[in-house]
Amino acid sequence: MSTARGEFSSRFGFLMATSGSAIGLGNIWGFPTNAASNGGAAFLFTYLLLAFSLAYPALMAELIIGRHTRANAVSALRQLATGPVSKKVGTGVGLAGLLTVSLILSFYSIIGGWMVSWMLEAITSLLGLDAAALWFATDAVPRNSLFVLVFMALTIYVVSAGVRDGIEKWSTRLMPALVVLLLLLILYVFTLEGATEGLRAYLVPDFSRVASPGLIVSALGQAFFSLSLGVGTMLIYGSYLSSEENLPLTGSMVSMLDTGFSFLAGLLIIPAIYVALANGVQIYDDSGALVAGPGLIVSLLPSLFDSMGMVGALVALAFFALMVIASLTSSISMLEVPVAYTVETFKTQRSRAAIVIGSTVTVVSLILVFNFATLFDFVVTLTTEYSQPLLGFFFAIFVGWIWNRNEVLKELQKGYAGAEHSLFWKIWPFYISVVCPLAILAVYVQLIFF
C-alpha cells in the first residue's frame, strides 16, 4: 500500500508544499486586515504568542498522525481509534474536515479568481487595452464566475498530476518566487510617503488592547486558518513525508515560515494602508471601521497602485501575481484532502477524482458567486470560525487521549534519535492533551455565547 502512495522527494519539497499550503490569502489578506482592525502591534504580539504556543502543537498533532498512519484523515483517525465509539467519532471528524475544506475551497476560489482577474487588469492596462482592463476590474457576476472556473481549473490540473509532479513541483517553483516578490514590494512601499506611520502602528503595541477577548478570538482563528489546521490538510501532507525526517524540527520550520510570511505581509499591507491614506484614498467605511476583508485588497490596493502612475501597473502586476501564486499553493492542498480520500477509499483514478470533486466544488463556488451577499460571509464564518477550531479540538483529543503515548513517541523517534529526552517531548504531550483542547474550547464557548 505504502509504495502506491506518493511521497515528497526531499525535505525542501515537503517544506515548500507545506508552507505553500499554509501561506496564502490567510497571510496576505487575513492577517494584515485582522491586525489593522485590532490595534496593529497588539494583534501581532498576541498572534505570535498563540501561533507558537497553540497552533504549532496542533500542527504537530496532524503531521504525526499523518506520517504514522500514511493515510487520509478519515482512515487515519479510524486507525487510531481504540473502540467502536472512537471509530465513529474518528470517521465523523475526518469526513467533517473533508467537507469543511471543500467549502473553504469554494469561497477561497472566488477570491483566488479575483486575484487572477486583477492580474490580467494590470497586464491589459500596461498594454493600453483600457476597455479590457475596465472589464477585469469591475466586480460583476460574469467576471467572477469566469475566474472561479479559471482558478479551479488550475487547481485541478496541479492536483491531478499527483504529489511529486504536481504539488511538490509547483510549490518549489512558486514559493521562492513569492518571497522575492513580496520583499521587492515591501522595499518599494517603504519609499512612499506615509509608510513610516504605518510601520509605527504595526510595530509599536498599544498594550491596553492585548488582553481584549475579541482580539484573542480573532488571533487564534487566524492562527488556525493560516496553518491550514483542523481539516486534514496537514495530516495528508504529513502522510507523504519520509520517515527519515525530524518531525518537530520540520514542523517548527513550517510554523516559522508561515508566521514570518504573515509578519512580512503586514510590513507591506499596513504601511500601504497609510500610504493610501496619505494619498487621500478612503480606508475607513461610513461607520469608521477599516475597509477590511475582501474589500481591502480589491478596492484599497488598486487605488494605491493607481496613485503611483505608470509604475503602478507594474507593481500591481507583481502584487496580484503574488496573490495568485499564494492562493494556488493553498487551494491545491485543499483539493488534495477529498481527492486523497476518494483515491484511497474507492481506488478511483487520481485525475478522475480531482476532476469530479473539483467540478463539484466549482458548482458550489458559482452558487456563492450568484448569492454573494447572502452566502459568502456565512460560509467563511461557518468554516473558519466554527468548524476549524472544533475539528482542531478533536485532533488534539485523538493524539492526546486516544492514541497510545508510547506509539506517538515511537513515531517521533523515527528521524529524531533521542526524541524521548527532548524539550519537545517534555512540553508537547501536555500541551496537546490539556492546553490545546481547553484553549480551543474556551474560544469556542466565547464565540457561541458572547
In angstroms, the CA 278 to CA 282 distance is 10
Query: Would you say 37 or 228 has its CB closer to ligand PHE?
Result: 228
Specify the residue for cell string 482577474: 117
**Which residue from 59, 231, 304, 432 is in contact with ligand PHE, where contact means CB under 6 A?**
231
C-alpha cell at 425: 517531548
**Which residue from 13, 16, 17, 21 is in contact with ligand PHE, where contact means CB under 6 A?**
21
Q: Please report how close the Cβ of residue 202 comes to ligand PHE at its closest, in angstroms.
A: 19
3-state secondary structure of 269: helix
* 171 touches ligand PHE by CB under 6 A: no
Q: Please report how close the Cβ of residue 22 comes to ligand PHE at its closest, in angstroms.
A: 5
* 27 touches ligand PHE by CB under 6 A: yes
Nearest Cα residue to 341 out of 80, 75, 1: 75
CB 147 within 8 A of CB 114: yes
Q: Which stretch binds ligand PHE (CB under 6 A): 34-42, 188-196, 330-338, 432-440?
A: 330-338
Q: Please report how close the Cβ of residue 380 comes to ligand PHE at its closest, in angstroms.
A: 11
Burial of 18 (0-12, 13-18, 19+ CB in 10 A): buried
Q: Please report how close the Cβ of residue 258 comes to ligand PHE at its closest, in angstroms.
A: 8
In angstroms, the CA 124 to CA 313 distance is 9
Query: Would you say 26 or 221 has its CB closer to ligand PHE?
Result: 26
Q: Which stretch binds ligand PHE (CB under 6 A): 129-137, 305-313, 327-335, 367-375?
A: 327-335
CB 273 within 8 A of CB 300: yes
**Which residue from 37, 69, 172, 226 is in contact with ligand PHE, where contact means CB under 6 A?**
226
In angstroms, the CA 325 to CA 175 distance is 8
C-alpha cell at 337: 484532502
Angle between helices 11-22 and 310-346 (to 10 degrees): 110
Number of chain residues interacting with ligand PHE (CB under 6 A)? 16
Q: Please report how close the Cβ of residue 144 comes to ligand PHE at its closest, in angstroms.
A: 19
Phi and psi at residue 45, to the nearest 5°: -70, -40
The residues near 45 (Cβ < 8 Å, ≥ 6 apart) are 205, 210
* Interaction pattern, residues 184-223, with ligand PHE; x per rule: CB under 6 A: ----------------------------------------
Q: Which residues bind ligand PHE (CB under 6 A)?
A: 21-22, 24-27, 101, 104, 225-226, 228, 231, 233, 330, 333-334
